[in-house]
A and B are shown apart, each in its own frame.
Chain A
């Protein structure tokens, strides 16, 4: 491709129309099928590659496509780019012989080792992988790391994990371009660097444009483009090389996630919100065209990071390493940071009925199973209902908490009262389907306090319960497990082309990132890598 083509925002093969259709030459129209020609007439914009989602996988796809001379339009539902990656911890797990590994003395890692580690049968997270996709990951792992560096991503000089494959990016230095400046949110270093590179290379990014559908040729079944809406206006955007679904995962979509686990009713919040939601947009449009869902065993396994113990209590979103500071530009939506650094000896956890249900120290999947167990509501059998952390003034003092806004959200997620009986009566939350009995809560705490006196938790085996809950005032803080990773999605082949149940390819449709199934890595490495695969292949069609 010429330099002029690769530098221009939209290549000579793309064109933008407003209002009425037409603009293609007669010759060009004649080269298309009749239906496709008709469909061609109704496009508002056209590019070689159209991508739904400007997160890590979408931006990676865009850069890869631009590097191969394809014109790119990205539609992004949010007001800004980055998706969950922008507010993530920024840990990129890519190995196989990267420069970072060599700098840390690891000289013998290679693609085969990566592959073998990622198909380890004894690991829950590696047991259910699609090995064809895993081979792609292994083969492209090292080059994707170097590709990130070449696209401006900077990494901290620390590594972790087997063969030092894992390591964080450096947080993006421009504070005004951060959604949260908490130091552990280094994903901004990856997201903003990729965005900057994508824009510099000429990808056009349409923010606040929500993909609502894809357009399929009725005869050939080839995907021709997508439909997006922006402030009530509908746009039909043609992707001559393909449409890439990079919309993130599904864990914010209650109906969708319950396909894998009926317990995950509406009370479970999703990490990364309220900045971005994982609404299964890509999965749903793909499934409408007959796409298969893939690798579902990964989603509901009793391991992995699809569910986490709340680390910041008393707020709606308390995902462990995402602690929203009050100076976040979206704090009006976040509303509270939460009380953090919880020592689980200082609180007990109760169901919405006011009863304890598990050892509070535990943070494994037995704990989650107990949280998700039936709450006792005869009108709501699925889901476990809210989980509340109950504690007292002594706990507040020991933890050096400030139980007031902006640390807590008293509008349904944090309560205080003079007595336990009063506290139970105050708890009102959209997901609290039963009134908590004051007598029940009082009895629960009295029983727990007796375990502190005896030194043994006779009910749930909490190791040496240390502190009574006795000194007023008393507090109840939202502490319900929070969802995170989407670990399954649409079926794709090794070129990230979306496949039907029978394995046939839906021509023109691609999927990558958390909307894709078959490689359930918690982390940004797979999102970027498979984004590149999709972008590369879609560009090859242009």
Chain B
């Protein structure tokens, strides 16, 4: 992109004044996030080949100087906070070089300013029991890394009715760069089953505009446990700690204690018992729970398959 000389009359009658063309070292971005830094390097050239090295340049918007400096020097500016069209002008001031007047020139620039993209993560640490309170974690991330501390997040049911809301915390969630998360306490439905909900981040009150974001998620609402299933995980063929083995009866879970026993609260009925720890070979068994029950599960070392050997065994 380049622009032609402005209509600025040269001094001393204008005879011999040279025209100037303004260009940019790099293309002006067609789209930019609100408030994002933009670097502009304004160049100017004389059709007659004069060296315009000392020319001053400016970047203007709405007649205001955003930045100024030397020819081809990086000018750091920020996109406006308002979404919409951003019009700028790159200007090379008039200059006299080797006694020859060079007219000022400008180049019109335009970019579309966008709100910051946001995305969500939603997680339910434990399946709730019907009718009881439970916690939903909602995290929001601005693609530009903005702090979203204190912003509002909401939970809606499948029909769109609000179930609850909360505020995002003050620091990023552990392990993330800029996911601000908050906990929302809800009351589980009064019947068991799988439910679909939506988390929503909208109407952010922030100095910079942010997109709304939404994410669906499900949770399973459980029957309350009637009984305790005491599961002893017996280790065979491996010397390892007994504590910390995850035992699951479907959505009901617990971890083994120092004695290798996990106490899982379950409702009456048939359950598929499984266990998991990375050093153990997974196994399962079915149990029919009609009352408190103690069972043993045998766990051996994880089998590392040598596919070469197995295939030709």
Contact = CB atoms under 8 A, between A and B. Distances in A.
Given A419-B119, A422-B143, A453-B127, A168 B175 contact: no
B312 A161 contact: yes
Interface string A415-458: 00011111000000000000000100011001001100111000
B241 interface: no
A56 B37 CA distance: 60
B220 A89 contact: no
Nearest to B124: A470
A466 interface: yes
A453 B218 contact: yes
Q: Which of A88, A422, A464, A521 is packed against the most chain B CB atoms within 10 Å?
A: A422
B175 A166 contact: no
A195 B179 CA distance: 56
Interface stretch (A40-48, A253-261, A393-401): A393-401
Contacts of B252: none
A90 B306 CA distance: 11
Contacts of A90: 308
Nearest to B120: A419
Interface of A: 88-91, 93, 160-161, 166, 168, 184, 305, 308, 311, 320-321, 341, 343, 393, 398-400, 418-422, 438, 442-443, 446, 449-450, 453-455, 464, 466, 468, 470-474, 521-523
A473 B308 contact: no
A513 B304 CA distance: 28
Contact of A400 (B121, B125, B143, B278): B278
7 contacts: A305-B307, A418-B172, A442-B215, A449-B218, A466-B276, A468-B123, A473-B176
B4 interface: no
A453 B194 contact: yes
Contact of B307 (A308, A419, A521): A308
Given A160-B313, A419-B141, A471-B123, 18 more contacts: A89-B306, A161-B313, A305-B308, A320-B307, A321-B305, A321-B306, A321-B308, A343-B278, A393-B175, A400-B278, A419-B119, A420-B119, A420-B121, A449-B218, A454-B194, A521-B312, A522-B308, A523-B312
Interface in B191-250: 194, 196, 215-220, 246, 248, 250
Contacts of A446: 215-218
A454 B143 CA distance: 33
B139 A472 contact: yes
B63 interface: no
Q: Which of B172, B177, B312 is packed against the most chain A CB atoms within 10 Å?
A: B312
Given A472-B139, A472-B175, A305 B311 contact: yes
B129 interface: no
A12 B149 CA distance: 85
Interface in B40-57: none
A311 B178 CA distance: 32
B302 interface: yes
Given A466-B248, A470-B124, A473-B175, A168 B305 contact: no
Interface string B285-306: 0000000000000000010111
B171 to A, nearest CB: 13
Contacts of A522: 308, 311-312
Interface in B169-187: 172-173, 175-179, 181
Interface in B268-289: 272, 274, 276, 278, 282
B71 interface: no
A466 B220 contact: no
B159 interface: no
A450 B196 contact: yes
B122 interface: yes
Contacts of B139: 418-419, 472
Contacts of A470: 121-124, 217
Contact of A466 (B127, B274, B302): B274
B308 A89 contact: yes
A184 B306 contact: yes
A216 B216 CA distance: 69
Given A160-B309, A166-B312, A418 B274 contact: no
Contacts of B196: 450
Contact of A341 (B119, B304, B311): B304
Contacts of A305: 307-308, 311
A454 B220 contact: yes
Contacts of A320: 305-308
Contacts of B179: 418-419, 472-473
Contacts of B250: 455
Nearest to A168: B309
B254 to A, nearest CB: 15
A455 B218 CA distance: 12
A418 B309 contact: no
Interface string B147-173: 000000000000000000000000011
Contacts of B308: 88-91, 184, 305, 320-321, 522-523
Nearest to B178: A418
Nearest to B173: A472
A418 B123 CA distance: 13
B219 A453 contact: yes
A384 to B, nearest CB: 21
B309 to A, nearest CB: 5
B119 A422 contact: yes
A435 to B, nearest CB: 14
Q: Which of A343, A464, A470 is packed against the most chain B CB atoms within 10 Å?
A: A470
Contacts of B251: 453
Nearest to B284: A464
A398 B276 contact: yes
A106 to B, nearest CB: 14
Interface in B100-130: 119-125, 127
Contacts of B216: 443, 446
Nearest to B216: A446
A100 to B, nearest CB: 15
B121 A472 contact: yes
B302 A341 contact: yes
B23 to A, nearest CB: 31
